[in-house]
Structure 1
Amino acid sequence: MSSGTKPNYVIFDTDMGSDDAWALQMILKAEKVLKSVKVLAITTVNGNTTNENVIKNTYRILDGFDRTDIPIYKGADEALIPGDIKRGSHGANGFADVEFWDLDKYPSDINTLIQRKRAIEIIRDLVMEHPNEITLICVGPLTNIALAIKSFSEIKTNIKEAMVLGGNHQGIGSIKPCADFNFYMDPEAAHIVLNSLTCPITTLPLECGLVQNLNIPLDWRFNVLANVNANDKNLTLLNEIERIRFRGRLSYVPYDALLTAVFLFPERCIRTKNQCNATVELHGSHTRGQTVIDRRNSNYNVTIIEQVYEEEFKNSLVWTVSE
């Protein structure tokens, strides 16, 4: 990035599991080394774990990167229409139940770690302060973004772009037969975001990380990536978390980091993508939360990342924790 060029301003919206941790670390590395982005705020949302745990996990990753100066704003504690949702594969605390919150180092009251404003307020304030300059990087359920849109409609036309982890394009699901975790956790929020924003929206769906599209051996994760930098405090923690989380699996896919790699290195990482008109099914007993693509409609509102280059993504992960 040339000297004097304004960085991409980012609001990072997260439900902080280990995938989110990789994504955040990658963004922070780009801010430090490439000077290509600037994280203005982190907003937390219920998803992989409770909001309280999301705040702790987020602060721990910031502390491991010596960036606790980045403000954290608490967001939604539940979906727009709460349901009986089973958590994903991140354990009760979002970090595979690894105990890392040392009360000799970290406060017992998490309210001391967050700002007084709520997530939707800072989203509104920053978007209007920097019209058409802010990228929303959304790696959890979209509750905060939907609430901000509904509360402050003026932001709809003032966001630069939205990068969204979630959805599908072939009807393959994870938490449900036809829905991925993030969209199913709050389908109404996903529907609002896809159908309200006027800015470019890029989604990275479930199928992008399936073994036929991305096959990173677990051996590579723990014999190569795990040993890149012994001094990286976050890598040490992530090694412990992911040895538990990925136990018994054959391949390794940190989905949230896939999204940030696509955002930071689109020319290197994106193999195939497709523009389409997409919305979210809200009512089907078997399809609630599924992304519905109208292939007859040329009024495109979403760019879907279908495949990434595996080696380039692996290189991005190595770079993320290299000295």
Structure 2
Amino acid sequence: MAEKQLMIIDCDAGIDDAQAIMMALCQPHIEVVAITCVAGNVSVQRVCHNVLRVLEVCGKLGKVPVYRGAEGPIINRGDPPATSVHGSDGLGDIPSSGALELEKHASAEHAVNKMIDLVVHQHHGEISLVALGPLTNLALAERMKPGFSKQLKMLSLFGGNTEGRGNTTISAEFNFYMDVEAADIVLQEFVCPVYVTGWEASLKHTIDWEWLYEWLNTKTKKGRFVKAVMDHLLQYYKGEWAQNELGEESNFIVCDQLSMAIAIDDKVVKKAHRHLVRVERQGSITRGQMVVDWCRHLGHKDNLNLVTEIDMQLVKDLMQASLND
């Protein structure tokens, strides 16, 4: 029997995070050894609750450890959560019961300490880390245990942008903007193989509405859950993102699902380019923008892989598998 692929999922548990988590949980070759929570779409306490709800729907409650991490960015800028997109609770404001009962399944150990323990002390070079929210926990792990990232098998993250197109400010993507300093630390200091899927990659790899609605009508417990949490997002989407900049009707944009698919199956990546990448920390307009050294002005040390082409049929297959019984 082939060895399991060990995975840590670091997330801020909005709707796309929930779907990405479900993609990993259903894969027989993936063992999720921890889900670590970080403030982003909603508060870190709410993130933990959302993760536990997803685990309950998937029959994994009590089987996958959940850890509470950073409650805010390294430097607190007072940025508001993305409740308009994901709902006030981060999962589309669908009714939830048994909050106190769910919270019993969250570990008391801090997420960053557990990440260091699993990666450095227990599983050298064996863990794939998937980062779906602000990178605060990752940056803290590297600073608390220098060389933490050397012990990772790989990092797949969703965040940043390659063309200066922002979805939170004029030039910054949400995950990087919510903790700019953490994003820059991770991009500068992580030395494992790093795959970055940015906002423009999402805009170029959308899902057609016909497939999406068929997927949302999957007649399973998990399918009904995803359909319920997606209702709020779809209403927001049709109002705010209904058209692209050319005035054409837009297909559905997926984000965290792409980075998770890459971690599950590397064949998802059709093309990636090695580049030196930094994050602008100070700009009055460009703070949080990911800056790619296209012409090597900063030197020749390429530090990560920018994913530019994705096999969307494989992504759809993984998404469909996540809702099957």
Fold agreement, TM-score > 0.5: yes
Alignment partners' CA distance in 2, 1:313 and 1:253? 13
1:138-157 aligned at under 5 Å gives the runs 138-157=131-150
Q: Where do 5+ consecutive residues of structure 2 fail to align?
A: 243-249
Q: Does 1:164 align with 2:170?
A: no
The separation in 1 between residues aligned to 2:206 and 2:137, in whole angstroms, is 32
**1:44 corresponds to:** 37
Is contact 1:98–1:240 with CA below 8 Å preserved after alignment? yes
Aligned position for 2:289: 290
Q: 1:215 aligned to 2:211?
A: no
Whole-Å separation in 2 of the counterparts to 1:74 and 1:282: 26
Deviation at 1:254, TM superposition (A): 2.8
1:127 — aligned with what?
119
Shift of 1:251: 2.5
SS, match of residue 308 in structure 2: strand
Paired amino acid for 1:202:
Y
Does 1:96 find its partner at 2:88?
no
Match of 1:225 among 215, 218, 237: 215
Name the residue aligned to 2:247: none
- Aligned residue for 1:17? 14
Aligned counterparts of 2:305 and 2:227: Cα–Cα separation in 1: 33
The one-character-per-residue Cα deviations of 1:106-147 (angstroms, maximum 9, x if unpaired) are 42683x232121011101100121111111110010001111
Query: 1:209/1:156 Cα in 2 relative to 1: closer, same or farther (>3 Å)?
Result: closer
TM-score with structure 2 setting the length: 0.90
Change (3 A) 1:154 1:305: closer
Moved over 4 A (4+): none
Instruction: Quote the Cα distance in structure 1 between the aligned partners of 2:86 and 2:162.
Output: 24
Deviations 1:243-302 (A, max 9, x none): 2212224422231111111222222x2232111111111000111111111121331111
* Corresponding residue pairs, total: 306
Match of 1:206 among 199, 202, 205: 199
Residue 87 of structure 1, aligned match among 57, 81, 84: 81
Matched letter for residue 10 of structure 1: M
Q: Deviations along 1:210-229, whole A, 9 cap, x unmatched?
A: 1xx2232334322x10123x
SS at match of 1:56: helix
Deviation at 1:21, TM superposition (A): 0.8
2:174 corresponding residue in structure 1: 181
CA distance in 2, matches of 1:108, 1:319: 29
Shift of residue 148, structure 1, vs aligned partner: 1.1
- The Cα of 1:84 is off from its aligned counterpart by 2.7
Q: CA deviation at 1:198?
A: 1.2
Residues 113 and 176 (structure 1), Cα distance of their counterparts in 2 relative to 1, 3 Å cut: same
Asked whether the equivalents of residues 22 and 254 of structure 1 are also in contact (C-alpha less than 8 Å), the reply is no
- Please list the CA deviations of residues 28-52 of structure 1 after superposition, one character each: whole Å capped at 9, or x if unmatched: 111xx3x2x2111110000011111
In the alignment, what sits opposite 2:304?
Answer: 302
What SS does the aligned partner of 1:148 have?
A: helix
Q: Which 10-residue stretch deviates more, 285-294 or 84-93?
A: 84-93
Code of the residue aligned with 1:93 in structure 2: it is: D
Tell me which residue corresponds to 1:190: 183
Amino acid of the residue matched to residue 322 of structure 1? N
Q: Which residue identity does 1:262 align to in structure 2?
A: I
RMSD: 1.6
Give the Å deviation of 1:64. 0.8
Distance 1:65-1:108 versus aligned 2 partners, 3 A rule: closer
With over 3 angstroms needed to count, the CA separation of the structure-2 counterparts of 1:109 and 1:57, relative to structure 1, is closer
Secondary structure of 1:39's counterpart equals strand
Percent identical among aligned pairs is: 29
SS at match of 1:98: coil
Q: Indicate the residue corresponding to 1:60 in structure 2.
A: 53
Q: Distance in 1 between matches of 2:5 and 2:317?
A: 22
Normalising by structure 1, we get a TM-score of 0.90
